[in-house]
A and B are shown apart, each in its own frame.
Chain A
Amino acid sequence: MSQVIVSGLITGSLYALAALGLVLIFKTSDIVNFAQGEMAMFNTFIAYTLMTKLGMPYLLAFVLTIIFAAIMGYLVQRIVIRPLFGSPLISSMIATLGLIMILNGLAGNLFGFETKNFPKMLNKNNIVIGSISIDPNSLLIILITIGIMFVLFYYFKYAMKGLAIRAVAQDPEAAKLMGISIDKVTMSTWMMSSILSAIAGMLIAPTTFLDINMMADVHLKSFSSAVLGGFNTFLGPVAGGFILGVVENLFGRYASLEWKTVFVFALIVIMLVVKPNGIFGKEYRKKV
Chain B
Amino acid sequence: MNETILKADNISISFGGLKAVDSVSFEIQKGEIMGLIGPNGAGKTTIFNLITQFYKLDEGSICFLGNDLSKFKPHQIIEKGVARTFQNVELFKSMTVLENLLVGQHSEINYNIFQGVIRTKKVKEEEQIAIERAMEVLKILEIEDYAYFYAGHLPYGVQKLVELGRALVSGPKLIILDEPAAGMNDTETKEFAKKIRFVKEKFGLTILLIEHDMSLVMSICNRIMVLNFGKKIAEGTPEEISSNSEVIKAYLGEEV
Contact = CB atoms under 8 A, between A and B. Distances in A.
- A and B in contact, CB less than 8 Å: yes
A73 to B, nearest CB: 34
A160 to B, nearest CB: 28
B88 interface: yes
Contacts of B90: 288
Contacts of B49: 288
Interface in B38-97: 45, 49, 54, 86-88, 90
A150 B87 CA distance: 39
A288 B176 CA distance: 14
Interface string B8-51: 00000000000000000000000000000000000001000100
Contacts of A288: 45, 49, 54, 86-88, 90
A288 B48 CA distance: 10
Interface in A9-36: none
Nearest to A288: B86
Contacts of B54: 288
B87 to A, nearest CB: 7
Interface residues of B, number: 7
Contacts of B86: 288
B241 to A, nearest CB: 26
A109 B222 CA distance: 79
A286 to B, nearest CB: 10
A288 B45 CA distance: 8
B152 to A, nearest CB: 14
A288 B85 CA distance: 10
Interface in A271-288: 287-288
A77 B163 CA distance: 40
Interface in A241-288: 287-288
A89 to B, nearest CB: 15
A109 B22 CA distance: 69
A288 B52 CA distance: 12
A280 B66 CA distance: 43
A288 B54 CA distance: 9
Contacts of A287: 45
A288 B88 CA distance: 7
Nearest to B49: A288
A287 B87 CA distance: 10
A35 to B, nearest CB: 29
A288 B90 CA distance: 9
B150 to A, nearest CB: 16
A122 B45 CA distance: 59
Contacts of B87: 288
Interface string B88-120: 101000000000000000000000000000000
Nearest to B52: A288
B186 to A, nearest CB: 27
A195 to B, nearest CB: 38
Interface in A168-217: none
Nearest to B87: A288
A96 B87 CA distance: 38
Interface in A116-130: none
Interface string A64-85: 0000000000000000000000
B46 to A, nearest CB: 9
A288 B49 CA distance: 8
A111 to B, nearest CB: 45
A62 B230 CA distance: 59
Contacts of B45: 287-288
Nearest to B48: A288
A288 B178 CA distance: 10
A288 B86 CA distance: 7
A103 B220 CA distance: 66
A281 to B, nearest CB: 17
Nearest to B46: A287
A191 B181 CA distance: 47
A168 B193 CA distance: 39
* Shortest beta-carbon contacts, A-B, top 4: A288-B86, A288-B49, A288-B54, A288-B90
8 contacts: A287-B45, A288-B45, A288-B49, A288-B54, A288-B86, A288-B87, A288-B88, A288-B90
Given A288-B88, A288-B90, 6 more contacts: A287-B45, A288-B45, A288-B49, A288-B54, A288-B86, A288-B87
